[in-house]
Chain A
Amino acid sequence: MLSRVADAVFWMARYMERTDNLLRALRTNYIASQDELLNFDWQLWVDGIGTPLPEGRVVGNYRDVLWHLMINRDNDTSVLVNIVRARENARSVQDYITKEVWQCMNDYYHLIRDTSTEHQILHGDPVSAFDSLLRESTLFYGTVDITLNRGEGYSFLNIGKYIERLLRTLDFLELKINELERGGNEMIQWKYLLYSLSGYEFHNKYYRNALSTENVIHQVIMNVQFPHAALYCLLQVERYFKRLDVISVPEHFKEVEFLLGRAISNMRYNGPEQKTLPQVKSLVNSTRIEIKSLSQKLASLYFGYS
């Protein structure tokens, strides 16, 4: 396939995955802030996942924060901007993705721009807004699964999706550690981390005891049954990348394969050793660096960036 098209499909998937993760995290934290974590520090979130507000401005009330993180067009990382970018990527490969996928992106785009969504966030029930947006996101994944051909494009799409998911998991984990460093109840914080990664129920089933830091870290980093775990994501990237073997220029394939294999081994063998929070943070950072060089290689060898 065309390099440009592969690139656009990759980024479409990244922006869509980013949007989905962001929405789930915001939804969870919003609910937490309403009920359990009454002194919820939104500033930390704005600094951690969004473009910070212009200097000197303090975060207003929670609705302003939600508005900023969700539909502020001037915020480079808002959900709306993500969806616009996903759609612009999709637009440039409209002939490659199916009509159904394109239609899905359109409905999503029109929904987040709808005044009713803004109204829900600013004056109504934000959870309803999260839920209807998340439904569109889920529809996107389903439509991709049902309609898209399993050629190269599908591999690039999934590589993008799992790279992004991995990075989001690392981000959210780091954010929680930052929150914990400021004090607070560890178990409650971990619970909401797992909620935002859709992993709380699984935790209870798999670890069969009350939350512990060790188990949470294991689940989020190492547990390959957990679809948001860092290692699971890396293995998925590998799985889809290997499918490109037949079409790739052999040297190109080898270069990326090497980087990917190294990242997986590092995580597999170093992961279990990281017990304290500062250690986890350093693992998060080193993984990020590895992913970055991996993406750069993909861009130069497969997407035609020189």
Chain B
Amino acid sequence: MPGRGARHLFLSRNRFHLNHSGVSSCILNFGLYIYKMSFAALLANYATRPNIWDEMCSQEKIRTHYQVFFDTLSQVSPAELARKDELAKKLFMSQGITFTVYSDGEGIEKIFPFDIIPRIITAQEWQLIERGIKQRIKALNIFLKDIYHDQFIIKDGVIPAALIYSCPNYLREMVKVDVPFDIYTHISGIDLIRDSDGSFYVLEDNLRTPSGVSYMLENRNMTYRIFPGLLPKNNVRSVKDYPDFLLKNLLSLANRQTSDPTVVLLTPGVFNSAYFEHTTLARLMGVELVEGRDLVVDNAKVYMKTTAGLKQIDIIYRRVDDDFIDPLIFNPNSILGVSGLYYAYRMGNVAIVNAPGNGVADDKAVYPFVPDMIRYYLNEEPILKTVPTYSMDNPEHFQYVFSNIHKMVIKKTNESGGYGMLMGSAADEKQIADYRKEVENGPRQFIAQPIISLSSVPCFIDGKIQPRHVDLRPFALYGPQGIEIVPGGLTRVALREGSLVVNSSQGGGSKDTWILS
């Protein structure tokens, strides 16, 4: 029998409350049979905020695609949820899904924070995302080919030449270099967010070495341990195909006349924070994980040093940035790459994935031009929306941004990981003034966007179910047969209450992402 507190909540179910803080409490539609007092208490704190799209609750009730999961969840006590949370942490630890903060010698093991409540996306929503991303990648890929060859897009006045040539990631070394199958963006991660009306926006494109896909895979492995039976019950689409798709694409890039081309994954090494991802992908694809010191270039061919002598390599999936892959051409101090690699690449003796020079396409100052690229190259209207973007080297934009700074976020065009940005809503006067000076010194390096309130999803934090802001990074694979997107992606969560910054370096975590079929 429910106790008094529960009865009270029961009476008020299905009603929309405004409490003193002006925050609405989503009191939910549980069936009477599965009703548990403890769970109601757990959810009483689920305070969705006005003008934010909550993916589980609409104002009055649970959205249908969350219902099955929610019904199961409501039979689980908070203590049980806490145990599941504990189990997840233990599993991450014992499976070594960690990154290490090296101070001296042994280092400190940390796990990337993981939230046990999955994020659910409907089949219709996914269909839109999939179409939108394919369209976008296709255009960006043509853009890369164009910008490194004939530059029609500049000649036709769609994109200003100054913008391209001022981009530090535009590689002159790539001009007139033909890449296999004209594919530059073999692997891309497109960051999506949802505005207050639930519509999807592209926040940024990651076309260089996007990471996070191993967490997409591992988070799913966690879910069936934590919530047995739920995946089949909800008809969740599998993400397991990713490594197979990737390997198939990589193999198809081989240039040599051989039935058994050699693929390697080039990692910066164990100190890299994404090292776990590199090992996971290498293992799942069954390819060698190499470091720069394992490679040598001879006569414009790339070899790896094995116990049986040198062995030629055909395809390198590199997780080392452009600047570090070849000290003869790029950063001369790099020991992460191998001397002569770029020459071997230009000779067509080895394929490098992703192609060098992609940074010009995911530059944040180029981002506002992507819709125009789609219209220009594909003659289509963009499917996914783009966040309005102000370039800071435009004086009018500059003025506008700083007079509305509390509604704005300013970002560096070539930084990722949530570094070097200013959230106008959270900054004080001094921070704004300091940042303004920085922007004045190099306006090309900055853009501004209105702060978009990311959608929220339920998370289990401090023993309570609470809404937190999320984004979504699906991973697209572009091979000679076309673009494939595994139904899923990495949902990143801003774990701090009210925070909009989801980057793992800034207190973000992740959760499993379900695409329903």
Contacts and interface: CB of A to CB of B under 8 A. Distances in A.
Contacts of A244: 307
Most buried by A among B106, B293, B307: B307
Contacts of B96: 91, 94, 102-103, 105-106
A259 to B, nearest CB: 17
A88 interface: yes
Interface string B278-293: 1110110000111101
A2 B289 CA distance: 9
Nearest to B95: A103
B307 A1 contact: yes
Given A84-B106, A92-B270, A106-B96, A2 B283 contact: no
Nearest to B285: A95
Interface in B240-279: 265, 269-270, 275-276, 278-279
Interface string B298-342: 000000111111000000000000000000000000000000000
Contact of B279 (A1, A95, A156): A95
Contacts of B290: 2
A247 B291 CA distance: 22
B95 A302 contact: no
B290 to A, nearest CB: 6
Chain B residues touching A, majority SS: mixed
Given A2-B288, A4-B305, A95-B278, 10 more contacts: A3-B294, A3-B306, A4-B291, A91-B96, A94-B276, A94-B289, A95-B279, A95-B280, A106-B93, A106-B94
A3 B94 contact: no
Interface residues of B, number: 28
A152 B94 contact: no
Nearest to B281: A95
Interface of B: 93-96, 105-106, 265, 269-270, 275-276, 278-280, 282-283, 288-291, 293-294, 304-309
A248 B279 contact: no
A152 B311 CA distance: 15
B95 A95 contact: no
A4 B95 contact: no
Interface of A: 1-6, 73, 84, 88, 91-96, 99, 102-103, 105-107, 110, 152, 156, 244, 247-249, 302-304
Contacts of B275: 91
B331 to A, nearest CB: 23
A244 to B, nearest CB: 7
**Those 3 A-B pairs whose CB atoms lie nearest each other, nearest first:** A95-B282, A94-B279, A95-B283
A1 B289 CA distance: 11
Contacts of A249: 308-309
A60 B26 CA distance: 64
A4 B106 contact: no
28 contacts: A2-B294, A2-B304, A2-B305, A3-B307, A4-B294, A73-B105, A84-B106, A88-B270, A91-B96, A91-B275, A92-B269, A92-B270, A93-B289, A94-B283, A95-B278, A95-B282, A102-B95, A102-B96, A103-B95, A106-B93, A106-B94, A106-B96, A156-B307, A244-B307, A247-B308, A248-B307, A249-B309, A304-B305
